[in-house]
Amino acid sequence: MQVAFAGSPPAAVPVLRALAGSGHEVVLVVTQPQKARGRSGRPTPTAVGQVAQELGIPVIAPPSISQPEPMAQLEQSGAGVLCVAAFGQILKPPVLALMPCVNVHYSLLPAYRGAAPVERAIMDGRTETGVTIMQMDEGMDTGPTISTWSTPIGPDEDAGDLVPRLAEAGGRLLVEAVDALEAGTLRATPQPEDGVVMAPKITDADRPLDPASTASDLANRVRALSPHIGATLDIDGHRFKIWRARAVPGERGGGLRVEGSTLLLGCSDGQLQILELQPPNRARMDTAAFLRGYRGPLELRALDAE
């Protein structure tokens, strides 16, 4: 079957590769426009766009897939289905009416509908998540489900550990769905009304570590935002990124404390042990290495504090 694919970040690449390696023909890839990246500031294709070029698949990167030109390119591609994974654009009714649209979503719907299902599930301390293949409609991840796959979230797993596992499973399930569509045996089930949880996009407001929270909540936040965003903590008037941390027993509150090669943040119910951090304009490092070279007072002091 001829297939069009819409996706953008690295999380969508395994899904594209699964489709390209199946018996189906990917005739067109739609991705987000190029953005300036890195120190050079040169426009760079998305991860999906780069892989599509490597595979010799035609690529378009419109500001909106709903514009007349990309709509015409989709229609002229000969695709019988548009497969979507982490695309980053909302499909409007004209696109949904053009051909069946099948989405790979990284949660067990109806839980965690929205842009950040993996991060929000980890942030909430969930111990299980998964992948849902769904037929797209005009709602936000509200369409009927075709298949699901579940997996535990390990207590120390971060988003960087979890996403590749979900993407691999998503690619496999998507190929099975396209197989069924081609055979005329595809079946979908409406989502239940109970259990709906939204997963809005991560913003800067989600990043700071607030010592008034519990240590486990902060450890979950660090895991959720690692390794691609980073939780933050203002130390001595500088914004540090915190990449690995864990909740440990101890006295509540008290700010930051150094015990040997260990850095502890007092929380509402115990302590957060900071294991890996990144000072401004420096590389990530483990806490012991940081403490060996740091001479500051290690106080929780905001950037605008005097």
The per-residue pLDDT for range 145-189, each reduced to its tens digit, is 999 999 999 999 999 999 999 999 999 999 999 999 999 999 999
pLDDT, average across residues 197-222:
98
CATH code of 62's domain: 3.40.50.170
Residue 306 has pLDDT above 50, yes or no: no
In a domain? residue 83: yes
In angstroms, the CA 245 to CA 275 distance is: 5
Taking CA atoms, 171 is separated from 51, 205, 282, in Å, by: 15, 32, 36
What are the residues facing 277 on neighbouring strands?
A: 242, 285
178, 208: one domain: no
Task: List the single range of 4-8, 34-38, 210-214, 239-243 with lowest mean pLDDT.
Answer: 34-38
Q: How many domains does the chain have?
A: 2
238, 280: one domain: yes
Task: List the single range of 14-28, 31-45, 74-88, 283-297 with lowest mean pLDDT.
Answer: 31-45
* Torsion angles phi and psi, residue 95, rounded to 5: -70, -45
30, 115: one domain: yes
In a domain? residue 47: yes
18, 156: one domain: yes
The per-residue pLDDT for range 259-299, each reduced to its tens digit, is 989 999 999 999 999 999 999 999 999 999 999 999 888 89
CA-based nearest residue to 83, from 99, 106, 103, 64? 103
166, 229: one domain: no
Residue 304 has pLDDT above 70, yes or no: no
CATH code of 260's domain: 3.10.25.10
Q: Write out the residue range of the structural domain in which residue 232 sits.
A: 204-293
116, 176: one domain: yes
For the chain, the average pLDDT equals: 95
